[in-house]
Structure 1
Amino acid sequence: MLNTKAEAYQLLSCLGASERLLTHVKLVGEAAELLISNFEDMDVQFDANLIRLGTAIHDAGKILHPHELDGPGSMHEPAGEKMLLAQGVQAAAARCCVTHAQWQHGDLSLEELAVAAADKLWKGKREAELELKLIQAIALQKQVDHWDVFTRLDDVFETIAADGSERLQRSRLVTIS
């Protein structure tokens, strides 16, 4: 069971995560923190710790499939979930290994959508369909028109994405998703 992102980073290190992978998940975490802060300002009901843990471990499977750090591939997704579950990580957090990339399928929680969005936004990429799913989840929860949420979150998404080049530069990576 993980309680903090520091514990998550420690677990990844113990499992053999490279510095590149640790840097990546921390940069995704920066984007997630900006989402969390805005959700709090909007009085959204959500589990901030699940978002933090999900972003910290979402690419754990790249420990087992390091070629996917630089290239395409989805083997790391189920492998990461399986590896983390074997380590006693709570299922909701481990599931983010799969849902961060497969957000188009199934009924995802607001937290899972936020992890997936942070994984796009950290590098400056906007994913309209994913952002809309997140906006709709919040609008439904708050029982407001989706345009009320869209107006606020579109600005947030743009602000996070605008710093993507700087985060990419700090990562010293060209492609990690």
Structure 2
Amino acid sequence: MTTGRPNVLSTALDETHDPPLRPLPAAVAELLRDVAAPLRLVAHLRAVHDVAAQLVDWVGAHRPELAVDAGAVLFGAATHDVGKALHPGELSGPGSRHEEAGRDLLLARGVPPEWARFAAGHASWTPETAVEDLLVSLADKVWKNKRVPGLEDLVVAGLCRAGGRPAWEEFLALDEFLTHVGEAAHRRLAWQAAHPVHG
């Protein structure tokens, strides 16, 4: 066993208290160990995965009529930046090479295309984007309390189509929830920053 591997697994799976974060799926933790993912990346994926789980729970309670593949959202959030294991410079700087690289890495490991897609598509969206993709993208923004009106408008539109409520009502409900999630962003950011980018 190499020195860094247990740290990847503990970062992915061990109980956390400040902030409390759900563990990554065990299969994702093992994949991250196998590709020698930097601990900063593992921490980031865990934080986004936790926020995605909160979003899925909220949508299920708020708008159960909206059919959401929760498993796909959670896997997508847990692996959306996996390509940064191959392009670690993009952990601390700009770049999009990790997107296609992440999808290709997942496909090479037998992940179905419908789940590997999140790695390549989490940074862009259109009115035709599936709700699962929108929720992964939203989690990747809101974990650090970044609000993106265009993205949120697309989520609101999906909520409206499912429930038939006016857009302003759905906007207010989503805004209240995202504001609540954002209140813990400083704790998630500090936890991620405590993990090294290299080594």
Length-normalised TM-score, structure 2:
0.80
**1:32-47 counterparts in 2 under 5 A?**
32-42=52-62, 43=64, 44-47=66-69
Q: Is residue 190 of structure 2 the alignment partner of residue 169 of structure 1?
A: yes
Shift of 1:144: 2.9
Matched residue, 1:48: 70
Matched residue, 1:88: 110
Matched residue, 1:67: 89
Length-normalised TM-score, structure 1:
0.90
CA RMSD of aligned residues (A): 1.9
> Is the CA contact 1:125–1:164 (under 8 Å) kept in the aligned structure 2?
no
The whole-number CA distance in structure 1 between the counterparts of 2:180 and 2:157 is: 20
Q: Percent of aligned pairs with the same residue?
A: 35
Shift of 1:106: 6.8
List runs of 5+ in structure 1 lacking aligned partners.
Answer: none
Q: Is residue 120 of structure 2 the alignment partner of residue 98 of structure 1?
A: yes
Shift of 1:5: 2.4
The whole-number CA distance in structure 2 between the counterparts of 1:63 and 1:94 is: 15
Q: Structure 1 19/106 Cα, relative in aligned 2: closer, same or farther at 3 Å?
A: same
The whole-number CA distance in structure 1 between the counterparts of 2:61 and 2:87 is: 38
Q: Structure 1 106/5 Cα, relative in aligned 2: closer, same or farther at 3 Å?
A: farther
**1:147-166 counterparts in 2 under 5 A?**
147-166=168-187
Matched residue, 1:117: 138
Shift of 1:100: 1.1
Q: Structure 1 106/91 Cα, relative in aligned 2: closer, same or farther at 3 Å?
A: farther
1:30-85, Cα deviation, whole Å (9 max, x unpaired): 11111111111121321111110000100011011000000000000011111111
Residue 76 of structure 1, aligned match among 98, 101, 104: 98
List runs of 5+ in structure 2 lacking aligned partners.
Answer: 1-23
Q: Could you say what secondary structure the match of 1:28 adopts?
A: helix
